[in-house]
């Protein structure tokens, strides 16, 4: 997030898109709802489902799946045409406005309406509402990023914010809601193929020599590595021999699981480190048991870049080690000494080689976490990014044209399907499905369908149905719901035994390599 | 007299704009007891515990809703105030099953009242929140035993039909904090005041069970409840404050990073609460963070390294497993190069864990093939 969670309550207008906030980030949804009910902020929800947050919204724009670039360009078209943009921000803080203006010229409300299904009038009104705010906050989640145009979608959101001067200000910003406790930290710590910790590029000679010196090693590779979605196909072709997987369950969370399983089975040697014998661990040659969050000391970085302490509360069961200790021990046995006394010693090294964490110590975050960048011991942290300038100087507008999703419906697969989470479960369910009460509330997978579609296909609430895509088939319960809009169904991806990802499309965004988990075409029939 | 000051208990204090007497007092370290007051919510002035004497006012004023007006002279513990608070507490204690040690005991045994309540509760224990109850604390503070009036029999049966929250109406004092927590703080709008007068009850929807209402089981109401009316089902009678260690940490589910307190006894997490007055969540949690902790002590946890042989896993020692992994990784790296290998680190584990996975991949395997599930 460019801004903080508390800062959302400062916004006059909140635009939420691709985020079912009340179920996926309930505590943030309360901040949004308080802003609306107690401060009178206006809420715009752009989402293909009639999610709970719509009850609080001034406007709900219901777009066809995979058409986000179109409605975003439509908003910008109206804002520029009606001269509602923040001219001084555009002039002083950005570049590429003319190119953006030329691109969005054709995205008239009528043209956008044809693509997105959103009435032209709503495009105009939403644009005026967003542009008219003193400060407007944008919140988004995987509904924006898990598309072949995910990067384009995010760039358009950034352009919209810059166009109206909503970056670097209180109550503004472009705020991705991170779905996992430490997805921010995993990125910060170099858990990415192209950067060391603190986003220092692996092909920057300066960064390489710095890390070589710090780590007492030579010959670090300057070739950016592969993403998870690129590794698997290489396993399939035999180019890839071995993987070491720590605390991940790609055999439920990956797109097109049938294919992913086959890829994993081609590996020569697979090591999985986890707290449970997950679907992925079952395929491993060696499984290493690790501590859960309550059994170790350390830090997580949350969605607002706040680095917070994790503290050991209980002893782990049996012969279980912290993840860092296992990794360090493997390294040491491979002849590279990684002797750390404890997690605090690892954190000390992190702060020495990671400029954005340079001023953070466990002492400083004992009571309250700090937002990175926090480069020095006397630096207060950075709750709001880009207040004076962008890291690259001026913010760049990217003119982006609309591209349709990778898969569209046809006679054989006439329904669109999208995926997500439910309130009572989390990701691949390996943790939440161990709590009886959560299972009681959300016992099994389902497909959510509109009343009209159910009638059309002769189905009733509670029927067992087969859902098939070009890649696989699962059997689930039918749930007729007001959340669903005609022509589009939803399936949660938590349930390994009826995994939604057997159906999803693994087509990737060309930049982020994120699969288009949010759009595929399916057909539904009553199970025998 | 300074135009912007009031006097509380003889102390001249500066008033800030739109401040209540309670806020002025608390900001200056003067304690005024409250019961229905919930931080972050809109004050209701319902319980009358916070009443104070304001000179020249016709009656005692609730400090939580009365604005601090310049020139006011306030007494927070005058004899009249204490009498009023004692009366309020007597009435509250008589309104339900408040069977804790504030009651006098006759000849060393429990009173008939306590025995009766234990029968109702089907336990030989005292109230489930004994030792962690604001009403009990106030009763001690003002030396009120709850025996001035005859106790009222429970009007509504206990609700235990959902997996997370026990609603014990026999202990509800109708302070409304749960309603505020639900409506003002979490804005789930699941519960409200229902019925009138002596029939008053906190209801969900049209007086339905929570499980059939709009309740999303965030548990904010439990944390707001000052008495034993709303208690976590799993820790009811299990958790007592003096037996549990409290460890503050960060929630391990989504990316909000809620600060939570793990309550631990005998090496087990027996309760989870939101950490008050601390960003980003200021005490709020969701159903997963508050109730989804069974996985920590699940019998399905892996407890030793496993090595697969002929398609089946067998237990192994750390030495054997680590030596095998180190040997095979070394062989594959040396035979095929590091770029034939990859590491998936995790959005679930700590920064420290992730940093070493990054260092291991690049410095030991000599490849940049490292990623995690940010994309999925």
Contacts of B250 in chain A (CB under 8 A): 181, 293, 300, 302, 308-310
Same domain, A44 and A173: yes
Q: Which of A184, A185, A203 to mutate to test the interface with B (most CBs of B within 10 A)?
A: A185
Contacts of A244 in chain B (CB under 8 A): 325, 329, 341-344
CATH number assigned to the domain comprising residue B259? 2.20.25.90
Contact A191 B354 (CB under 8 A): yes
- Residues A142 and A23: their CA atoms lie apart, in Å, by 13
What's the gap in Å between the CA of A415 and the closest CA on chain B?
Answer: 23
Same domain, B52 and B71: yes
Q: Which of B233, B300, B321 sits opposite A288 (nearest CB)?
A: B321
**B150 pLDDT above the threshold of 90:** no
| pLDDT, position B51 | 97
Residue whose C-alpha is closest to residue A56's, from B188, B252, B129 = B188
Same domain, B10 and B67: yes
The C-alpha R_g of chain B, in whole angstroms, comes to 28
Q: Which of A182, A257, A361 to mutate to test the interface with B (most CBs of B within 10 A)?
A: A182
Same domain, A365 and A468: no
Contact A436 B340 (CB under 8 A): no
Same domain, A79 and A215: no
In a domain, B13, yes or no: yes
Contact B295 A430 (CB under 8 A): yes
**B105 pLDDT above the threshold of 70:** no
Contact A184 B218 (CB under 8 A): no
Residue B91 contacts residue B103 (beta carbons within 8 Å): no
Same domain, A211 and A245: no
Contact A5 B279 (CB under 8 A): yes
A225 touching chain B per CB within 8 A = yes
Contacts of B38 in chain A (CB under 8 A): none
A315 touching chain B per CB within 8 A = yes
A326 touching chain B per CB within 8 A = yes
In a domain, B200, yes or no: no
Residue whose C-alpha is closest to residue A144's, from A47, A254, A43, A2 = A47
Residue whose C-alpha is closest to residue A433's, from A281, A317, A276 = A276
Same domain, A501 and A456: yes
Q: Which of A38, A242, A317 sits opposite B301 (nearest CB)?
A: A317
Same domain, A26 and A104: yes
- Average pLDDT for residues B76-81, to the nearest whole number? 97
Q: Which of A51, A437, A440 to mutate to test the interface with B (most CBs of B within 10 A)?
A: A437
Contact A269 B329 (CB under 8 A): yes
In a domain, A392, yes or no: no
Same domain, A205 and A267: no
Domain containing B25 equals: 5-77
- Show which of residues 150-189 on chain A sit within 8 Å of chain B, judged by CB atoms: 177-189
Same domain, A143 and A23: yes
- Residues A11 and A288: their CA atoms lie apart, in Å, by 46
Q: Which of B224, B248, B256, B267 to mutate to test the interface with A (most CBs of A within 10 A)?
A: B256
Q: Which of B256, B267, B375 sits opposite A314 (nearest CB)?
A: B267
pLDDT band (50, 70, 90) for residue B1: low
Contact A301 B351 (CB under 8 A): yes
Contacts of A517 in chain B (CB under 8 A): 376
- Residues B139 and B143: their CA atoms lie apart, in Å, by 5
Contact B302 A275 (CB under 8 A): yes
Q: Which of B294, B325, B354 sits opposite A330 (nearest CB)?
A: B325
Question: What percent of chain B lies above the pLDDT cut of 90?
Answer: 85
A434 touching chain B per CB within 8 A = yes
In tens, the pLDDT along B160-185 reads 999 999 999 999 999 999 999 999 99
- Residues A304 and A373: their CA atoms lie apart, in Å, by 11
In tens, the pLDDT along B290-342 reads 999 999 999 999 999 999 999 999 999 999 999 999 999 999 999 999 999 99
What's the gap in Å between the CA of A90 and the closest CA on chain B?
Answer: 31
In a domain, B148, yes or no: no
CATH number assigned to the domain comprising residue A89? 3.40.228.10
Contact B340 A242 (CB under 8 A): yes
Same domain, A116 and A35: yes
In a domain, A264, yes or no: yes
**B107 pLDDT above the threshold of 90:** no
Sign of CA dihedral A510, A516, A521, A522: positive
**B365 pLDDT above the threshold of 90:** yes
In a domain, A402, yes or no: no
Peptide bond before B226: cis, by omega within 30 degrees of 0? no
| pLDDT, position B109 | 63
Same domain, A127 and A48: yes
| pLDDT, position B342 | 97
Contact A240 B367 (CB under 8 A): no
Contacts of A277 in chain B (CB under 8 A): 300, 302, 306
Same domain, B68 and B35: yes
Q: Which of B247, B250, B317, B318 to mutate to test the interface with A (most CBs of A within 10 A)?
A: B250
- Pick the residue from chain A with its C-alpha nearest to B247: A313
In a domain, A25, yes or no: yes
Same domain, A453 and A339: no
In a domain, A390, yes or no: no
A263 touching chain B per CB within 8 A = no
In a domain, B106, yes or no: no
Same domain, B321 and B362: no
Buried b / exposed e along A375-411 (16+ C-beta atoms within 10 A): beeeeebbbbbbeeebeeeebbbebbebebbbbebee
Last residue of a domain, one of A177, A212, A247: A177
pLDDT band (50, 70, 90) for residue B147: confident
pLDDT band (50, 70, 90) for residue B108: low
Place of tokens 């501590």: A291
| pLDDT, position B104 | 73
* Burial degree of A79 (CB within 10 A; 0-12, 13-18, 19+): buried
In a domain, B112, yes or no: no
Q: Which of A294, A296, A514 to mutate to test the interface with B (most CBs of B within 10 A)?
A: A294
- Residues B92 and A188: their CA atoms lie apart, in Å, by 53
Contacts of A290 in chain B (CB under 8 A): 302, 349
Contacts of B257 in chain A (CB under 8 A): 181, 300-304, 306, 308, 369
β-pair type (A395-396, A94-95): parallel
Same domain, B332 and B342: no
User: Looking at the 3D structure of chain A, how many domains does it have?
Assistant: 4
| pLDDT, position A73 | 98
Domain containing A264 equals: 226-289
Residues 6+ apart with CB under 8 A from B43: B20, B22, B37, B62, B64, B65
User: Looking at the 3D structure of chain B, how many domains does it have?
Assistant: 4
| pLDDT, position B76 | 98
| pLDDT, position B3 | 78
Last residue of a domain, one of A289, A305, A334: A289
Positions in chain A short of pLDDT 50:
none
Q: Which of A250, A287, A335 sits opposite B373 (nearest CB)?
A: A250
In a domain, A404, yes or no: no
What's the gap in Å between the CA of A24 and the closest CA on chain B?
Answer: 7
Structure tokens at A159: 């352009």
Q: Which of B309, B353, B366 to mutate to test the interface with A (most CBs of A within 10 A)?
A: B353
Q: Which of B218, B280, B343 sits opposite A6 (nearest CB)?
A: B280
In tens, the pLDDT along B230-253 reads 999 999 999 999 999 999 999 999
What's the gap in Å between the CA of A232 and the closest CA on chain B?
Answer: 10
Same domain, A32 and A142: yes
CATH number assigned to the domain comprising residue A306? 3.40.50.740
How many residue pairs bridge chain A and chain B with CB atoms within 8 Å of each other? 476
Contact B353 A323 (CB under 8 A): yes
**C-alpha distances out from residue B236 to B70, B133, B167, Å:** 47, 14, 11
């Amino acid at each position: 997030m460019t801004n903080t969670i508390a800062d959302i309550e400062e916004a006059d207008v909140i635009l939420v898109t691709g985020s079912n906030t009340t179920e996926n980030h309930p505590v943030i949804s309360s901040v949004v709802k308080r802003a609306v009910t107690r401060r009178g902020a206006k809420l715009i929800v752009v989402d293909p489902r009639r999610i709970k947050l719509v009850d609080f919204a001034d406007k709900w724009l219901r777009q066809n799946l995979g058409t986000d670039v179109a409605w975003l360009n439509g908003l910008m078209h109206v804002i520029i045409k009606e001269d509602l943009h923040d001219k001084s921000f555009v002039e002083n803080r950005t570049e590429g406005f003319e190119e953006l203006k030329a691109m969005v010229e054709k995205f008239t409300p009528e043209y956008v309406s044809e693509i997105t299904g959103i009435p032209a009038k709503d495009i105009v009104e939403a644009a005026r509402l967003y542009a008219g705010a003193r400060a407007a906050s944008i919140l988004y989640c995987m509904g924006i990023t898990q598309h072949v145009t995910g990067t384009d979608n995010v760039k358009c959101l950034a352009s919209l914010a810059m166009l109206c001067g909503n970056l670097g200000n209180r109550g503004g910003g472009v705020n991705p809601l991170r779905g996992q406790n430490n997805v921010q930290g995993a990125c910060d710590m170099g858990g990415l193929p192209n950067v060391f910790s603190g986003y220092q590029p692996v092909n920057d000679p300066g960064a390489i020599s710095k890390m070589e010196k710090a780590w007492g090693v030579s010959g670090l590779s300057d070739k950016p590595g592969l993403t998870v979605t690129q590794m698997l196909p290489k396993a399939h072709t035999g180019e890839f021999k071995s993987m070491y997987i720590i605390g991940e369950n790609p055999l439920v969370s990956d797109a097109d699981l049938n294919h992913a399983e086959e890829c994993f089975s081609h590996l020569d040697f697979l090591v999985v480190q986890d707290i449970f014998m997950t679907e992925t661990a079952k395929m491993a040659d060696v499984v290493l048991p690790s501590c859960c969050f309550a059994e170790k000391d350390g830090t997580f970085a949350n969605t607002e870049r706040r680095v917070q302490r994790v503290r050991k509360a209980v002893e782990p069961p049996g012969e279980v080690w912290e993840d860092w200790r296992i990794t360090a021990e493997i390294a040491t046995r491979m002849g590279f000494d990684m002797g750390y006394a404890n997690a605090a010693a690892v954190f000390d090294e992190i702060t020495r080689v990671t400029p954005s964490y340079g001023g953070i110590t466990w002492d400083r975050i004992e009571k309250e976490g700090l937002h990175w960048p926090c480069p020095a011991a006397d630096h207060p942290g950075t709750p709001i990014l880009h207040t004076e300038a962008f890291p690259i100087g001026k913010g760049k507008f990217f003119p982006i044209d609309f591209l349709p999703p990778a898969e569209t419906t046809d006679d054989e697969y006439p329904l669109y399907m999208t995926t997500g989470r439910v309130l009572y479960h989390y990701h691949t369910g390996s943790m939440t499905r161990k709590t009886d009460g959560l299972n009681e509330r959300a016992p099994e997978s389902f497909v959510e369908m509109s009343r009209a579609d159910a009638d059309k296909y002769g189905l009733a609430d509670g029927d067992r149905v087969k859902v098939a895509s070009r890649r696989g088939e699962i059997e689930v319960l039918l749930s007729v719901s007001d959340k669903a809009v005609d022509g589009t169904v939803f399936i949660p991806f938590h349930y390994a035994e009826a995994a939604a990802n057997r159906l999803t499309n693994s087509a990737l965004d060309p930049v982020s390599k994120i699969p288009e988990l949010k759009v595929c075409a399916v057909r539904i029939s009553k199970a025998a | 007299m300074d135009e912007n000051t009031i006097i509380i208990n003889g102390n001249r204090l500066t008033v800030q704009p739109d401040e209540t007497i309670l806020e002025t007092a608390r900001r200056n370290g003067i304690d005024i007891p409250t019961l229905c007051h919930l931080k972050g919510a809109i004050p209701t002035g319902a319980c009358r515990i916070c009443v104070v004497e304001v000179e020249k006012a016709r009656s005692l004023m609730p400090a939580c809703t009365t604005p601090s007006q310049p020139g006011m002279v306030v007494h927070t513990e005058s004899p009249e105030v204490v009498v009023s608070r004692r009366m309020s507490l007597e009435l509250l204690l008589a309104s339900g099953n408040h069977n804790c040690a504030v009651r006098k005991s006759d000849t060393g045994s429990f009173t008939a009242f306590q025995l009766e309540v234990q029968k109702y509760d089907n336990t030989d224990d005292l109230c489930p929140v004994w030792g962690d109850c604001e009403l009990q604390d106030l009763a001690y503070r003002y030396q009120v035993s709850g025996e001035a009036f005859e106790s009222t029999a429970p009007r509504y049966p206990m609700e235990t039909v959902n997996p997370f929250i026990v609603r014990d109406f026999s202990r509800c004092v109708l302070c409304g904090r749960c309603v505020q927590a639900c409506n003002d703080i979490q804005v789930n709008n699941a519960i409200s005041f229902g019925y009138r007068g002596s029939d008053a009850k906190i209801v969900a929807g049209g007086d339905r069970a929570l499980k059939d209402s709009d309740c999303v089981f965030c548990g904010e109401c439990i944390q707001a409840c000052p008495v034993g009316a709303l208690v976590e089902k799993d820790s009811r009678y299990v958790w007592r404050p003096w037996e549990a260690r409290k460890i503050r940490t960060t929630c391990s589910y989504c990316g909000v990073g809620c600060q939570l307190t793990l309550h631990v006894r005998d090496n087990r997490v027996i309760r989870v609460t939101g950490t008050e007055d601390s960003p980003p969540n200021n005490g709020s949690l969701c159903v997963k963070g508050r109730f989804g902790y069974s996985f920590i002590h699940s019998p399905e946890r892996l407890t030793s390294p496993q090595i697969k042989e002929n398609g089946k896993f067998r237990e192994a020692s750390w030495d054997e497993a680590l030596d095998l992994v180190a040997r095979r990784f070394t062989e594959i790296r040396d035979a095929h190069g590091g770029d034939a290998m990859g590491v998936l680190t995790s959005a679930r584990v700590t920064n420290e864990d992730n940093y070493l996975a990054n260092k291991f991949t690049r410095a030991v395997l000599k490849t940049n093939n490292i990623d995690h599930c940010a994309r999925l």
